[in-house]
């Protein structure tokens, strides 16, 4: 169900929920939104140490932002899994599935979070879903030898949870390569999500673009058409 309003005199309120494994960077992303989305400059770093952002208290959730878009005001409310209100009780209009680019397992677990979305929030399939890769600043390109001898990435993405558990039980070496953009996009497409994006909350890289993309999608949830992108996953 979309967050539709009947009058332009009302300010549409859109609830946005961030889901994902612990420590993937959800709270840091919200901290960046509170601080501002511009990349951190050297001058700012003199006051704010690199790779550090002011902590936000979970009790402050939802974080409310008043934004004007398309000449109309909107009120966006951001929450994550640390919300004072149990996140399973929230009624989001837009859902963002987060993973850590340096942690391949967290990308695999996006599948579990996607299932939760479909079974809990999105039974009527009306809510848009974005996959968001965080900690982009920490990504390292694969060494040539890893590309030639590493784990078959396509198999890793296609494997089910049971296969993953069997691999761990047999003591197989976990693939520690960082997630590349095409892999994140591939997962979003496989799970039939509407959008895919990446950013670094710590440095601010691409955060402005991600917020703009989130804002546009959130605003569309207030219309009769809704915020779904249709058949294809859109890249920010």
Q: What are 76-96's pLDDT values in tens digits?
A: 999 999 999 999 999 999 999
Q: What are 31-77's pLDDT values in tens digits?
A: 998 887 665 554 454 454 445 677 777 888 999 999 999 899 999 99
How far is CA 170 from each of CA 104, 106, 149, 166, rounded to the nearest angstrom? 19, 20, 19, 6
Q: What are 106-136's pLDDT values in tens digits?
A: 999 999 999 999 999 987 788 999 999 999 9
Contact of 110 with 185, CB cutoff 8 Å: no
Structure tokens at 172: 């197989």
Q: Where are the domains of the chain?
A: 13-140+178-235
As its CATH architecture, domain 13-140+178-235 has: 3-Layer(aba) Sandwich (3.40)
Contact of 146 with 177, CB cutoff 8 Å: yes
């Amino acid at each position: 169900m979309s967050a539709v309003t009947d009058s332009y005199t009302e300010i549409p309120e859109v609830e946005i929920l961030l889901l994902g494994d612990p420590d993937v960077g959800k709270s840091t992303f919200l901290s960046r939104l509170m601080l501002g989305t511009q990349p951190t400059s050297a001058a700012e770093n003199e006051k704010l140490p690199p790779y550090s952002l002011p902590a936000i208290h979970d009790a402050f959730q939802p974080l409310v932002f008043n934004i004007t878009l398309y000449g109309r005001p909107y009120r966006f409310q951001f929450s994550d899994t640390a919300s004072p209100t149990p996140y399973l009780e929230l009624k989001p209009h837009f859902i963002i599935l987060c993973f850590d680019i340096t942690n391949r397992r967290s990308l695999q677990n996006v599948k579990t979070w996607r299932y939760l979305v479909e079974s809990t929030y999105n039974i009527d399939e009306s809510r848009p879903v974005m996959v968001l890769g965080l900690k982009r600043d920490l990504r390292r390109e694969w060494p040539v030898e890893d590309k030639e001898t590493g784990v078959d990435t396509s198999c890793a993405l296609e494997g089910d949870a049971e296969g993953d558990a069997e691999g761990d039980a047999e003591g197989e070496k976990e693939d520690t390569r960082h997630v590349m953009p095409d892999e994140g996009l591939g997962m979003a497409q496989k799970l039939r999500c509407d959008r895919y994006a990446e950013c670094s909350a710590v440095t601010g890289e691409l955060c402005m673009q991600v917020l703009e993309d989130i804002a546009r999608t959130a605003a569309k949830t207030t219309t009769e058409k809704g915020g779904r992108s249709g058949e294809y996953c859109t890249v920010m």
